[in-house]
């Protein structure tokens, strides 16, 4: 078993402290009774109650959730189709241009992407709102889904598809019954990645949103510019708690699946 040197221990300690101590302080001060976020005035949960009465934050959270679900779904469908074409279609005219257009948002600065989409929406006369945010988030998150699904398709055993075709399945049925169930973990991972990127996006949404639709990151950023309030601490704490529960749940499910697979392999070996 490899032992960590003192340098590695100190580096890890400082790195984790830099990441998590600010979050711990934020959570602690979300229960502060006073309005000053840097002066402890006693324990209280009143800011969580006031947060539930803040219509601006609640509406922004609802808009963000709707945009994230819809855009990640569209991005997953389009990204999976693009990945399948890139991996399975072989050489075709315009393949280099097609792959470049798919992967361009990965390296393109978000400011450039947001500005170009804003000019596009203005040029076609499309009013900014939920629709424009969905289109923008679908555009930049689709490439991430394509990368995730492509990495799974590259290692996929095509003989399974060929066997299904030999048994009378059409190409669509072979994809639906054989390919899609096998690459489903990659597709789900791509959806979750697109969902997270949509929830977290600030720059592109600030270009493509309008007065009728404001996402939660934009609302938080606008509020913080006027000063950090205890309600923002409470909101951030809730988001941290949701992410923590999600990560722990995913880890438990993954561990349970690994244990089940190990037991199945041991049972097969005994048989």
pLDDT at 137: 93
CA distances 209 to 59, 121, 127, 155, Å, are 14, 11, 9, 39
| pLDDT band, very low/low/confident/very high, at 271 (cuts 50, 70, 90) | low
For 193-208, write each residue's pLDDT tens digit. Answer: 899 889 888 899 989 9
Phi, psi of 41 (to 5 degrees): -120, 15
- Is residue 73's pLDDT more than 90? yes
Q: 204 and 110 in contact (C-beta within 8 Å)?
A: yes
| 74 compared with 167, residue with greater pLDDT | 74
Cα-flanking dihedrals φ and ψ of residue 89, to 5°?
A: -80, -10
The pLDDT, as a whole number, for residue 145 is: 92
- Domains of the chain in start order, with CATH, are 58-227 (1.10.3720.10)
For residue 76, the model assigns a pLDDT of 93
Say how far apart CA 86 and CA 79 lie, in whole Å: 10
The single residue listed with the structure tokens 């998590």 is 20
Q: What residues are paired with 43 via a beta bridge?
A: 32
- pLDDT tens by residue, 154-163: 888 778 887 8
Report whether 229 contacts 56 (CB < 8 A): no
The angle subtended at Cα 16 by Cα 10 and Cα 21, nearest 5°, is 120
Cα separation, 180 vs 159, whole angstroms: 14
pLDDT exceeds cutoff 70 at 1: no
Entry pTM: 0.81
Whether 226 has a pLDDT exceeding 90, the answer reads no
Residue 227 scores a pLDDT above 80: no
């Amino acid at each position: 078993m490899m032992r960590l040197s003192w340098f590695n221990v100190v580096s890890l300690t400082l790195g984790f402290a830099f990441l998590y101590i600010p979050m711990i302080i934020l959570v602690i001060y979300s229960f502060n009774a006073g309005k000053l976020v840097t002066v402890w005035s006693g324990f209280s949960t009143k800011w969580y109650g006031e947060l539930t009465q803040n219509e601006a934050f609640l509406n922004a959270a609802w808009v963000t959730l709707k945009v994230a679900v819809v855009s990640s779904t569209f991005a997953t469908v389009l990204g999976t189709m693009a990945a399948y074409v890139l991996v399975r279609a072989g050489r075709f005219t315009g393949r280099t241009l097609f792959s470049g257009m798919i992967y361009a948002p990965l390296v393109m600065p978000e400011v450039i992407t947001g500005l170009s989409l804003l000019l596009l929406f203005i040029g076609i006369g499309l009013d900014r709102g939920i629709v424009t945010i969905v289109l923008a988030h679908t555009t930049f998150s689709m490439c991430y889904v394509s990368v995730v699904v492509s990495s799974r398709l590259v290692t996929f055993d095509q003989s399974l598809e060929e066997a299904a075709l030999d048994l009378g399945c059409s190409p669509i049925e072979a994809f639906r019954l054989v390919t899609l169930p096998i690459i489903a973990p990659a597709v789900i991972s791509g959806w979750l990645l697109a969902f997270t990127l949509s929830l977290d996006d600030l720059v592109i949404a600030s270009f493509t949103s309008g007065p009728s639709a404001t996402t939660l990151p934009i609302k938080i950023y606008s509020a913080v510019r006027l000063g950090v309030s205890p309600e923002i601490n409470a909101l951030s704490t809730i988001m941290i708690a949701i992410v923590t529960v999600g990560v722990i749940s995913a880890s438990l499910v993954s561990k349970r699946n690994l244990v089940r697979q190990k037991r199945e392999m041991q049972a097969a070996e005994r048989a």
